Amino acid sequence: MANEILFFMEVVVGGLLAGTMYSLVALGFVLIFKASATFNFSQGAMVFFSVLAFCGFMQDFNIPFVLAFILAAFLMVLVGLCTERLVLRPLMNASEDTVLMATIGLGYVLEGLAQAAWGVEVRRLDLGIGDFPVPWIADNLKLFISALDITAGLVAALMIIGLFLLFKYTKIGLGLRAVADDAGAASSIGIPLKHIMLLVWSAAGVVALVAGCMWGARAGVQFALVDLALKALPVLIIGGFSSIPGAIIGGLIIGATEKVLEVYIGPFFGGAIEGWAPYVLAIFFLLYRPEGLFGEKIIRRV
């Protein structure tokens, strides 16, 4: 009996930690949604693009780890700059749906560019953190939890605290919130919309790079990352599109539920229900609470 409880705990904890990986991807979506009410469908492609570039710098040009990371982050800022200048600014007054379509296009461009520049084969990314159980925890708590999962959890926590402080206490954060509330009013009192957008897209790019490193270390740097990133969508629906804590809680819920369902219910259906369970969970959330746990209520006027 005790073993079963322990096993259940292990499944839940593993799921929660895997959920933080989803949260990391979802965070990028939330950043952009918060500042511009734009849903950036290309976030998944940005994850793929950034980490592939990072790997490329390291493996093809033999650039040391830290420098490669900085270069890749710089590249993402450049992507943000181009996106702001070439995609978002011309679509300033377009509707949400039009911008959404444009970001799907942007995702295609990034995926294509990444593959053209760095090739299509799966790359290994070694962060120096093993994807195996930490011996100390395994001995003392009898739980098998991967070191990579713990690192991802810590990184996610750090990023959230950082972003939270940025939004809450800095002048930039105040500007961001003002733009998110009403872009027109914010720009009329002199908040530079362009800079805010650039900042947000760059930040989302760097978040994508971090998320990509975590995923890449686990599953290899490959095209499937883009599909994995799609799982951030149910996370967002559960947590709410405009809430940073929501992204985290949503990720944890999805991660834990998905693992528990897979382990306890999956075998009855031949397994692999992880692929769609999060989406179905999201549908149920949509039916009862469309704005998510922490989102703002959606009000539409005729």
Partner 1 sequence: MKPVLMTYTRRDIINFCVLMFLGLIIIPTFISTEYWYTSILIPWLCLALATIGQQIVMGYTGQLALGAAGFMAAGAFAMFNLILRVPDLGFFGSLIVSGLIAAAFGILFGLPSLKVRGIYLMVATLASQFFIIWMIDKFGWFKNYDSSGIITAQDIVILGKPFTTPLAMYLVCLGVTAVLTLLAMNMARGSTGRNWMAVRDMDIAAESMGVSLLKTKVQAFAISAFYCGVAGALFAFCYLKSLEPVAFDIKLSFKILFMCILGGLGTINGAFIGAAFILLFPVLLNSVGNNVFHGAIDATIISSIEQVIFGLLMIIFMIYEPLGMAKLWENFKQNIKSKLSSSSIKNLKSSPLKNLKK
Interface residues with partner 1 (CB under 8 A) are 39, 41, 86-87, 90-91, 93-102, 104-113, 115-116, 119-120, 227, 230, 233-234, 237, 241, 269-273, 275-276, 279-280, 282-283, 286-287, 290, 300, 302
Q: How far is the CB of 5 from partner 1 (least distance, A)?
A: 29
Specify the residue, 135 or 267, whose C-beta has the smaller distance to partner 1: 267
Question: Which is nearest to 100 in space by CA: 164, 33, 160?
Answer: 33
Specify the residue, 136 or 269, whose C-beta has the smaller distance to partner 1: 269
> Any bridge partners for residue 133, and if so which?
146
Alpha helices, DSSP H, located in the chain: 2-36, 43-60, 65-82, 96-118, 135-140, 147-169, 171-181, 183-188, 193-219, 224-230, 232-239, 244-264, 277-288
Q: How far is the CB of 151 from partner 1 (least distance, A)?
A: 29
Specify the residue, 167 or 241, whose C-beta has the smaller distance to partner 1: 241
Q: How far is the CB of 268 from partner 1 (least distance, A)?
A: 11
Q: How far is the CB of 286 from partner 1 (least distance, A)?
A: 5
- How far apart CA 179 and CA 37 sit, in angstroms, is 9
Q: What is the DSSP string of 12-32?
A: HHHHHHHHHHHHHHHHHHHHH
**What is residue 97's DSSP assignment?**
H
Please state the φ and ψ torsions of residue 291, each to the nearest 5 degrees.
Answer: -85, 0
Specify the residue, 117 or 165, whose C-beta has the smaller distance to partner 1: 117
Q: How far is the CB of 300 from partner 1 (least distance, A)?
A: 7
Specify the residue, 5 or 302, whose C-beta has the smaller distance to partner 1: 302
